[in-house]
């Protein structure tokens, strides 16, 4: 994620989020331990993450199970403190930023994957939207009803939705409410965890066009977790691909997907269903457990082009041409 | 169909029309005939209790030694007891006492249970452990025994019975509330609210409490019958309300010695008690089935 | 995908005629007509509420209390709907078999996977305990489970999603059925495992000359894996035929809409369709897509268009068919 070309002598622009060698290790019971023992083993959910998110970018965070993307999200939001490394928001550690009043919470809003679960079933939609409006003092009480109507309109819901309860809305409508609530605090960063997965393609299309227009109109910085490369390609300019707790490739979405540098990115690309392409040769085996990371490069056990030194060196994300980075000793593209 | 370009208007065509409210609400009474019958019976008791002075043919404590221990006749539909008091009137007034004691006792139990259950469910760690062991200790004793113990401290009388039964019900309520609190606490919308940096106590007040009160209300309706039974048992044992209060338990006890030749003295209040308990239990079950699954279910 | 259109000498292995399913007041399948040739794979695609899973479950006669009209003809057995439950029990596992989306939920958590497979083998093939165990290990190997001997004693929750699905495939194919129904078999899996499982299912069914019906919501995956596709909307078949015809030369407006929502890598423009599927109370008696169709004519809402061949030179039920009064 390099900076856009600047005028000479211009001060460097600080990224909104910066993660430096972030680690998150959970102590979990050692598998197969005897009944009364307290042996634990470290589950490295995040193992040396380097990430920088610039203001106004839309970033897709892509990974399969065990990649650590949900843990990464929690670190970005300040819900969990990383056990190692530094996680910064506008240059300040995220934990501190969160503790200092409500500015961080107002500025960074989240849309959950389980949109319905994230809404209080006993509150009307209007009350759900009013909560951030009041808490952050966005509008005076007189203007509240109007703002709620505006938010509902913005996400394509009828105004009378405000009187309804979440149980009376469909899955797609509930997602819209979740988006409306996130927007209520007028954030500059929107974080979404699989916000459009599990939906019909037509509902998904509706929500994606909504998100894209919102992002463009409001200049939001978007961090979008998804497993769907098509969604990432449509919605996000930049992409970060994760595998077993580390970001293994970043760069502009088109560049990375058209000419992947990391063999895992290439495998993901090939595995994504495409019209009438023959079914791809899948990656062999299963994703290793994060409890037992492979020696050397974490992808070496499944990599189709692994070489002998891949099992002894553990590559970290390094620059590869303009705006791209890869964590691979022998990348398959030199950008 | 509109062709949307990247510069499309910023709002979308509205989502599907919102589903009109549940059509199933009215048909509950059709779907559950036993529930409807039980509800009618329970409401009849309630009406009789409220309008006792108008409904009862006699004053319940009016003694008439000319008609002592008479079997049911046209004048005294349920017969008379050993003091010549009309049993029907006493049964009707007894409904009043039973319901008052039952409802207030349950409210005391629910209030106490809510406070303790919330404290236990929210605290976690050592204090939760301590509170739960306290509740376990209380729960180890059956409500009746506990009520007896409280009566021994407080003395007899209607108000003392209400307090004693109420206190003895705090344990079960606390356990239920704690379970609900634990379940609600880990729901995603709680985390979503905390994500907005809303202070924890406010989250509890605005999000945890409303989601716990409703199941509690359902529990309240179910446990009224239990409260009535405990209070009647206390009166039967002679340590509840004092004579000549027309309490069913007391009436059953008074008729105990005369069962062989004046069975109506015990039988009438006994039937009344049994019928009300059955009706309340069915109503409580029906309410629980109607509302609880919707609370837990993911629509 | 080879063109099988001209193999009309072989009668279809499965034919659904006017299959209609009512659940209460709702008509969840409306006169569904489908055919499946021997050794073919058919994809049922559509969005939620389209009825695709219902069709699969109906074929297995596992629908429970629902009113079913029409016929489901399986080659050699006649109309499945006319059979008794006892006769169906014999067929399940031996001629018909099904795998489900969430393998973890479909497997019994209290028994080891080896035991579940052996039990199925003993029931279907009457094998002895040892013979069943041997055969189970063979089947585990054939579905790509490494260390098959060791995995026999694993419980479902100890296996990954992909492994669980492999076990399900092994159980489903234990009796060498002629027809395998797969209801969204990969939706719950990671995308790199998804390709493995789909390949596995296709390879094994092809080896045995069996036919396969995939219920999918992913059109692209359907194109990659299936010979023929049937597109469903709200319980009605709107278009069916060879995969290439249906996806590349589609005639039905809904197929067009569905295809336009598929996001391939590199898609930058997206046409969001309007509206949603009407609720059952508001379903028009005719074509159910008419409420949203850009090409709807006045007659569409009242009169349901029949499923007719696209080309007048059509040879049989396996050709490209659509149900539309105003096709593109």
Which residues from B are below 8 Å from C291, CB to CB? none
**Nearest Cβ partner for C262 among A201, A271, A283:** A201
Instruction: Check residue A241 and give its pLDDT.
Output: 94
List CB contacts of B142: < 8 A, sequence separation 6 or more. Answer: none
Residue of C nearest to B3 (CA): C271
**Nearest Cβ partner for B1 among C270, C274, C277:** C274
Structure tokens belonging to residue B104: 């207030």
The pLDDT tens digits of the residues spanning A117-163 come to 999 998 999 999 999 999 998 889 999 999 999 999 988 888 888 99
Which residues from B are below 8 Å from A172, CB to CB? 15-16
B3 interface with A at CB cutoff 8 Å: no
List Cα–Cα distances, B240 to A106, A268, B54, B153, B244, in angstroms.
59, 76, 27, 12, 12
Tokens 């004053």 sit at which residue? B59
Which residues from B are below 8 Å from A163, CB to CB? none
Q: Do B18 and A168 touch (CB under 8 A)?
A: yes
Which residues from A are below 8 Å from C217, CB to CB? 200-201
Q: Which residue has better confidence, B10 or B287? A: B287
Q: Do A156 and B299 touch (CB under 8 A)?
A: no
Q: Which residues of A touch C (CB under 8 A)?
A: 64-65, 170, 172, 200-206, 208-210, 212, 227-231, 233-234, 254, 257-258, 267-269, 271-280, 282-283, 285-287
Residue span of the structural domain in which B123 resides: 50-291
Å between C271 CA and nearest CA of chain B: 6
Across the range C20-42, mean pLDDT stands at: 90
Instruction: Check residue B7 and give its pLDDT.
Output: 32
Q: Which residue has better confidence, B215 or C43? A: C43
Question: Does B167 map to a domain?
Answer: yes
Q: Examine the pLDDT at A322 and tell me if it is beyond 80.
A: yes
Beta strands in chain C (DSSP E): 14-23, 26-36, 41-45, 67-74, 78-79, 96-99, 179-183, 211-216, 228-233, 236-242, 308-309, 321-322
Instruction: Check residue A3 and give its pLDDT.
Output: 46
Burial degree of C82 (CB within 10 A; 0-12, 13-18, 19+): exposed
B195 interface with A at CB cutoff 8 Å: yes
Parallel, antiparallel, or unpaired: how do β-strands C211-216 and A84-89 relate?
unpaired
Interface probe for B, chosen from C26, C48, C261, C274 (most Cβ of B below 10 Å), is C274
Average per-residue pLDDT for chain C = 87
List CB contacts of B129: < 8 A, sequence separation 6 or more. Answer: none
Tokens 């055919």 sit at which residue? C35
In whole angstroms, what separates CA C105 from the centre of its chain?
19
Q: Examine the pLDDT at A11 and tell me if it is beyond 90.
A: no
Å between A90 CA and nearest CA of chain B: 18
Instruction: Check residue B10 and give its pLDDT.
Output: 38
Across the range C94-121, mean pLDDT stands at: 90
Q: Where are the domains of chain A?
A: 17-326
- CA–CA separation, B236 vs A12, rounded Å? 86
**Nearest Cβ partner for A167 among B15, B214, B299:** B299
Domain count, chain B: 1
Å between A150 CA and nearest CA of chain C: 20
- CA–CA separation, A195 vs A235, rounded Å? 12
- CA–CA separation, C15 vs C33, rounded Å? 7
Which residues from C are below 8 Å from B7, CB to CB? none
Average per-residue pLDDT for chain A = 87
- CA–CA separation, C233 vs C254, rounded Å? 8
Q: Examine the pLDDT at B22 and tell me if it is beyond 50.
A: no
Element (H, E) at A222: strand A221-226
> Does domain A17-326 sit in CATH 3.40.50.2020?
no
Instruction: Check residue A314 and give its pLDDT.
Output: 87
Residue of B nearest to C279 (CA): B19
Å between C236 CA and nearest CA of chain B: 20
Question: Does B217 map to a domain?
Answer: yes
Å between A66 CA and nearest CA of chain B: 21
Size of interface A-B (CB pairs under 8 A): 97
Across the range B207-231, mean pLDDT stands at: 87
Helix residue ranges per DSSP H, chain B: 28-31, 33-50, 52-55, 87-123, 125-140, 143-154, 158-168, 170-185, 188-195, 200-203, 209-236, 248-255, 264-296
Å between C276 CA and nearest CA of chain B: 6
Proportion of chain B above pLDDT 70, given as a percent: 88
Residue of C nearest to A171 (CA): C48
Question: Does B153 map to a domain?
Answer: yes
CB B83 within 8 A of CB B119: no
Interface probe for B, chosen from A97, A98, A122, A124 (most Cβ of B below 10 Å), is A122
Q: Do C266 and A65 touch (CB under 8 A)?
A: no
Residue of C nearest to A231 (CA): C263
Question: Does B285 map to a domain?
Answer: yes
The CB density around residue C279, as the number of other CB atoms within 10 Å, is: 14
Query: Pick from B13, B191, B197: which is nearest to A114 by CA?
Result: B191
Q: Which residue has better confidence, B139 or B184? A: B184
Instruction: Check residue C4 and give its pLDDT.
Output: 45
Parallel, antiparallel, or unpaired: how do β-strands A325-326 and A246-252 relate?
antiparallel
Å between C192 CA and nearest CA of chain B: 29
Q: Examine the pLDDT at B13 and tell me if it is beyond 60.
A: no
Which residues from B are below 8 Å from C274, CB to CB? 1-2, 13
The pLDDT tens digits of the residues spanning B66-108 come to 888 888 888 888 888 888 888 888 899 889 989 999 999 999 9
Structure tokens belonging to residue B139: 């729960």
Size of interface A-C (CB pairs under 8 A): 120
Residue of C nearest to A257 (CA): C265
Q: Do A131 and B189 touch (CB under 8 A)?
A: no
Residue of A nearest to B13 (CA): A156
Q: Examine the pLDDT at B14 and tell me if it is beyond 60.
A: no
Across the range B262-274, mean pLDDT stands at: 89
Residue of B nearest to A129 (CA): B193
Query: Pick from A202, A222, A201: which is nearest to A211 by CA?
Result: A222
Q: Which residue has better confidence, C180 or C146? A: C180
CA angle (B285, B287, B291) in 5-degree steps: 120
Burial degree of A47 (CB within 10 A; 0-12, 13-18, 19+): buried
Average per-residue pLDDT for chain B = 82
Burial degree of B120 (CB within 10 A; 0-12, 13-18, 19+): buried
Question: Does B35 map to a domain?
Answer: no
Across the range A245-266, mean pLDDT stands at: 92
The pLDDT tens digits of the residues spanning C217-264 come to 888 889 989 999 999 999 999 999 999 989 998 889 999 998 888 888
3-state secondary structure A8-36: CCCCCCCCCEEEEEEEEEEEEECCCCCCC
Å between A111 CA and nearest CA of chain B: 9
Across the range C134-146, mean pLDDT stands at: 90
A238 backbone dihedrals φ, ψ, rounded to 5°: -120, 155
**Nearest Cβ partner for A209 among B8, B198, B294:** B8
Residues B256-291, buried b or exposed e (16+ Cβ, 10 A)? eeeeeebebbbbbbbebbeebbebbbbbbbbbeebe
The CATH number linked to B211 is 1.10.3720.10
Q: State the sign of the Cα–Cα–Cα–Cα dihedral C191, C197, C203, C205.
A: negative
Instruction: Check residue A133 and give its pLDDT.
Output: 93
The pLDDT tens digits of the residues spanning A159-191 come to 888 999 998 888 888 999 999 999 999 999 999
**Nearest Cβ partner for A118 among B6, B11, B192:** B192
Q: Do C275 and B13 touch (CB under 8 A)?
A: yes
Q: Examine the pLDDT at B18 and tell me if it is beyond 60.
A: no
**Nearest Cβ partner for A213 among B8, B197, B214:** B8
């Amino acid at each position: 994620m390099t900076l856009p070309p600047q005028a000479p002598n211009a001060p460097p622009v600080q990224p909104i989020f910066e993660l430096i060698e972030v680690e998150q290790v959970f102590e979990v019971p050692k598998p197969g331990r005897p009944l009364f023992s307290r042996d634990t083993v470290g589950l490295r959910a995040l193992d040396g993450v380097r990430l920088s998110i610039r203001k106004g970018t839309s970033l897709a965070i892509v990974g399969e199970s065990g990649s650590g993307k949900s843990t990464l999200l929690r670190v970005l939001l300040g819900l969990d403190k990383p056990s190692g490394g530094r996680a910064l928001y506008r240059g300040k550690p995220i934990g501190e930023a969160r503790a200092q009043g409500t500015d961080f919470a107002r500025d960074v809003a989240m849309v959950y994957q389980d949109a319905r679960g994230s809404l209080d079933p006993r509150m009307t939609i209007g009350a759900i939207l009013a909560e951030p409006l009041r808490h952050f003092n966005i509008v005076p009480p007189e203007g509240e009803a109007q703002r709620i109507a505006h938010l509902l309109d913005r996400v394509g819901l009828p105004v009378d939705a405000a009187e309804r309860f979440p149980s009376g809305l469909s899955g797609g409508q509930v997602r819209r409410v979740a988006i409306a609530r996130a927007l209520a605090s007028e954030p500059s960063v929107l974080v979404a965890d699989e916000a459009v997965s599990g939906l019909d393609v037509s509902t998904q299309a509706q929500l994606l066009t909504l998100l894209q227009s919102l992002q463009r109109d409001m200049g939001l910085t978007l961090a979008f977790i998804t497993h769907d490369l098509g969604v990432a390609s449509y919605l996000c300019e930049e992409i970060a691909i994760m595998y077993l707790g580390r970001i293994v490739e970043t760069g502009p979405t088109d560049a990375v997907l058209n000419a992947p540098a990391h063999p895992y990115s290439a495998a993901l690309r090939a595995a994504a269903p495409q019209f009438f392409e023959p079914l791809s040769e899948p990656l062999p085996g299963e994703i290793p457990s994060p409890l037992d990371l492979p020696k050397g490069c974490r992808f070496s056990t499944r990599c189709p082009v692994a070489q002998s030194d891949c099992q002894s060196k553990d590559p970290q994300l390094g620059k590869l041409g303009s705006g791209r980075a890869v964590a691979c000793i022998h990348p398959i593209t030199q950008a | 169909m509109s062709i949307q370009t990247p510069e499309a208007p910023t709002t979308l065509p509205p989502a599907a029309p919102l589903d009109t409210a549940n059509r199933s609400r009215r048909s509950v009474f059709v779907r559950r005939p036993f529930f409807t019958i039980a509800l009618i019976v329970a409401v009849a008791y309630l009406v009789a209790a409220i309008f006792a002075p108008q409904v009862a043919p006699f004053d319940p404590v009016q003694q008439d030694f000319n008609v002592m221990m008479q079997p049911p006749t046209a004048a005294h539909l349920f017969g008379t007891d050993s003091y010549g008091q009309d049993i029907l009137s006493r049964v009707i007034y007894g409904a009043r006492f039973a319901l008052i004691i039952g409802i207030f006792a349950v409210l005391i139990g629910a209030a106490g249970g809510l406070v303790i259950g919330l404290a236990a469910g929210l605290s976690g760690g050592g204090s939760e452990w301590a509170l739960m062991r306290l509740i376990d200790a209380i729960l180890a004793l059956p409500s009746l025994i506990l009520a007896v113990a409280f009566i021994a401290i407080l003395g007899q009388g209607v108000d003392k019975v209400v307090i004693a039964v109420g206190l003895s019900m705090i344990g079960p309520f606390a356990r239920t509330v704690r379970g609900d609190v634990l379940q609600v606490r880990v729901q995603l919308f709680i985390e979503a609210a905390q994500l907005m940096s809303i202070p924890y106590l406010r989250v509890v007040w605005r999000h945890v409490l409303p989601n716990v009160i409703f199941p509690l209300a359902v529990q309240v309706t179910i446990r009224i019958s239990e409260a009535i039974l405990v209070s009647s048992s206390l009166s039967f044992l002679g340590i509840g309300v004092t004579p000549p209060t027309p309490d069913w338990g007391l009436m059953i006890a008074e008729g105990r010695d005369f069962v062989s030749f004046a069975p109506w003295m015990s039988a009438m209040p006994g039937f009344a008690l049994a019928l009300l308990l059955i009706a309340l239990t069915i109503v409580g079950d029906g309410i629980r089935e109607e509302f609880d699954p919707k609370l837990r279910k993911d629509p | 995908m080879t063109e099988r259109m001209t193999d009309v000498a072989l009668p279809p292995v499965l034919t659904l005629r006017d299959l209609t399913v009512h659940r209460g007041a709702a008509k969840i399948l409306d006169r569904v007509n489908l055919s499946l040739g021997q050794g073919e794979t058919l994809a049922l695609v559509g969005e939620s509420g389209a009825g695709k899973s219902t069709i699969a479950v109906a074929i297995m006669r596992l629908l429970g209390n629902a009113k079913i009209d029409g016929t489901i003809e399986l080659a050699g057995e006649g109309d499945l709907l006319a059979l008794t439950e006892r006769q169906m029990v014999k067929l399940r596992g031996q001629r018909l078999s099904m795998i489900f989306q969430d393998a973890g939920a479909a497997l019994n958590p209290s028994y080891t996977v080896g035991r579940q497979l052996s039990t199925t083998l003993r029931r279907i093939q009457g094998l002895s305990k040892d013979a069943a165990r041997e055969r189970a290990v063979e089947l585990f190997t054939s579905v790509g489970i490494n260390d098959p001997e060791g995995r026999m004693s694993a419980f479902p929750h100890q296996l990954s999603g992909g492994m669980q699905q492999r076990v399900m495939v092994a159980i489903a194919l234990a009796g060498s059925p002629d027809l395998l129904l797969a209801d969204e078999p990969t939706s719950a899996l990671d995308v790199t495992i998804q390709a493995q499982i789909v390949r596995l299912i296709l390879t094994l069914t092809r080896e045995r000359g069996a036919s396969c019906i995939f219920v999918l919501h992913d059109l692209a995956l359907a194109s990659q894996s299936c010979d023929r596709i049937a597109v469903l909307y709200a319980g009605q078949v709107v278009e069916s035929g060879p995969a290439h015809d249906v996806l590349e030369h589609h005639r039905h407006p809904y197929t067009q809409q569905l295809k336009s929502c598929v996001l391939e890598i590199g898609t930058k423009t997206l046409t969001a369709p309007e509206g949603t599927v009407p609720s059952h109370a508001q379903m028009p008696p005719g074509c159910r897509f008419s409420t949203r169709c850009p090409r709807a004519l006045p007659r569409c809402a009242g009169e349901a268009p029949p499923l007719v061949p696209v080309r007048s030179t059509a040879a049989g039920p396996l050709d490209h068919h659509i149900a539309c009064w105003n096709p593109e």
